[in-house]
Amino acid sequence: MKNILVPTDFSPNAHNALSVAAQLARKNDSTIHLLHLLELPSHIDDPIVGSNGNFPEAILFMKSIHSKFKQLIDSPLLKGLKTHEDVNTQPIPQGILKSCNNNEIDFIIVGSHGKEAFSDLFVGSNTEKIVRTSSTPVLVVKEPTDISTVKNIVFACNFKNEEIPTLNALHNFAEEINAQIHLLYVNTPRNFKTTHAIEEEMKAFLTKSTFKKDSLHIYNDTSVERGVLNFSNDIKADLICVDVHERKGLSHFINGSISEDLINHTQIPILTYKLKA
């Protein structure tokens, strides 16, 4: 984890994400890339591209942003850390993807309003676009989080071969922060399977992964999202991990509405990895 991207609108929610980034950066000697996605008023020219007309007014916008960047970089939170700042006037998903490609980003951390939707910077379909189109893991942080207290991670999955890369990547992340992974299958009336059938799938799945130590759980509930949230609350989980599909939106049971439910109805951070097609 050498490069961590933190999109920021300089809000308290973005500060929560930056705090987690700082903790991970200190553990991994990472560079934090601060990205502000600038939405200029329609009468203001793009200060990055450059033009005539209202360019002086646009420069004032840029000076204000860089002043805020300086305050962040000079703060005790980022003291001694390697940082990089950037401003982009592209739409949110494209701007984030461009930063990921240009800076070889390994991890994206974004802040949210907790039990509400994402902050003004990350609303509705923009969130899904970021998660769906990014090859980079995305961690959604709802409130101030001490990464050293993350001890129990729930990975909700279907125990399919395509999920093995995510499990292996999550295992590496869990080792970095000294946390345990709980592999969870939510059994619902709509897609009911016997306990024996699920256990056989679990065993076959783990023989193809790089480790065998993590807890296996079957949880019965009326829906997958309810099962994930109820199980996570039962074991006092500190983080929930889910997969997203490369081209098909959110994977099998993690569709758009379920993903939003997980984000909007829990204070637990959500970590997403993209499945390969």
pLDDT of 69: 92
CATH for 150-274, among 3.40.50.1100, 3.40.50.620, 1.20.58.110, 3.30.460.80?
A: 3.40.50.620
pLDDT of 93: 78
Q: What is the pLDDT of residues 95-151, one digit of tens each?
A: 888 999 999 999 999 887 644 444 444 444 555 667 777 789 999 888 899 999 999
Write the secondary structure of the chain as one string of H (helix), E (strand) and C (coil).
CCEEEEECCCCHHHHHHHHHHHHHHHHHCCEEEEEEECCCCCCCCCCCCCCCCCHHHHHHHHHHHHHHHHHHHCCHHHCCCEEEEEEECCCHHHHHHHHHHHHCCCEEEEEECCCCCECCCCCHHHHHHHHHHCCCCEEEECCCCCHHHCCEEEEECCCCHHHHHHHHHHHHHHHHHCCEEEEEEEECCCCCCCHHHHHHHHHHHHHCCCCCCCEEEEEECCCHHHHHHHHHHHCCCCEEEEEECCCCCCCCCCCHHHHHHHHHCCCCCEEEEECCC
Residues 6+ apart with CB under 8 A from 276: 162, 165, 246
Q: What's this model's pTM, rounded to 2 decimal places?
A: 0.85
Class of the CATH-defined domain 3-141: alpha beta
Tally of CA atoms within 13 A in the half-sphere of 13 that contains its CB: 20
Q: What is the pLDDT of residues 143-188, one digit of tens each?
A: 899 999 999 999 998 898 888 888 889 999 999 999 999 999 999 9
Q: What is the pLDDT of residues 194-252, one digit of tens each?
A: 999 999 999 888 888 776 666 899 999 998 889 999 999 999 999 999 887 655 444 44
Residues of the chain with CATH 3.40.50.620: 3-141, 150-274
